[in-house]
Amino acid sequence: MTTEAHVLTVGGLRVAVIRKAIKNLHLGVYPPDGRVRVAAPLVVSDAAVRVAVIGKLRWIRRQQAAFERQERESERELVSGESHYFLGRRYRLDVVETEGPARVVVRNQRTLSLHARPGWDTRQREALLHRWYRERLRELVPPLMEKWQAALGVEAAGWGIKKMKTRWGSCNAAARRIWLNLELAKKPPECLEYLVVHELVHLLVRQHDDRFISLMDRHLPRWRLAKRTLNAAPLAHETWEY
């Protein structure tokens, strides 16, 4: 349970500190602008947090520089001619106004044809595209869950898809429930598989410790490449928040 959240300034960096009933301190740098967050055990003092951050300053700066260089999607208006991503490929959007069913169709492996009602605004067109992304993930995820639950000898109680601001996925180990970010529909297929394996491994190991890494190495040897691919893919335009 989170009991305290506040901000420290360390070496000119703003560091969000959240104290939880956990055993180890975890430091993360998050897109799109390299925000720094520390999850610390209840008994760890601010002074100890500062020492931990100072010891990671070079690494933090490298991560922030990488986010600064990372390509970002431009703001979307959902009009014909825009570029949109699906499974790592870039498609040209073609908006077709129709009185028929509202739907999205892939044409010629180059075009996303968005059939929208006349007069629909950007928000309504975006909702249609997001619904289509969600439907595609609901087709793609079950075979991956079946494959990797069997391989790892685990079983999730359930999984879902939602928009997340700072994570590609999450695992509630106590409830045995996995969440995947809707944005994964835009990323290459190997990134989706990596996230499924990553979160399922958390049902066995909660922390990113040596045992976690060993399991990832054993079952998905190329997981680091998939992770790099995911982090190198264009970020969504929106401003991410904690």
* 97-122 pLDDT tens trace: 999 999 999 998 899 999 999 999 99
Q: What gap in Å lies between CA 94 and CA 208, rounded to an integer?
A: 43
- As a whole number of angstroms, the distance between CA 178 and CA 172 comes to 6
Confidence at residue 233, expressed as pLDDT on a 0 to 100 scale: 62
**Residue 32 neighbours by CB under 8 Å, 6+ apart:** 67, 70, 72, 235, 239, 240
> How many angstroms separate the Cα of 172 from the Cα of each of 163, 233, 236?
16, 26, 25
Amino acid letter at 235? L
Decide: helix, strand or coil at residue 216: helix
User: Per-residue pLDDT tens for 146-190?
Assistant: 999 999 999 999 999 999 877 899 999 999 999 999 999 999 999
CA–CA distance from 174 to each of 53, 59, 168, 190, 199 (Å)?
29, 31, 19, 27, 13
Position 135 confidence tier, pLDDT thresholds 50, 70, 90: very high
Residue 6 near residue 242 (C-beta atoms within 8 A): no
- Angle (nearest 5°) at CA 55 between 35 and 39: 50
Is the CB of residue 31 less than 8 Å from the CB of residue 22?
no
DSSP 8-state class, residue 94: E
What is the DSSP pairing of strand 26-30 with strand 89-97? unpaired
Say if pTM beats, i.e. exceeds, 0.95: no
Q: How far is residue 179's CA from residue 168's CA, in Å, rounded to a whole number? A: 9
Domains observed in the chain:
4-69 (no CATH), 83-232 (3.30.2010.10)
Average confidence (pLDDT) over 68-85: 78
Q: Are 4 and 21 in contact (CB under 8 A)?
A: no
Pairing of strands 103-107, 83-86: unpaired
197 pLDDT exceeds 50? Answer: yes
96, pLDDT greater than 90: yes
Strand order in the sheet with 177-181: 158-162, 177-181, 169-172
* Kind of pairing between the strands at 103-107 and 177-181: unpaired
Q: CA–CA separation, 28 vs 37, rounded Å?
A: 5
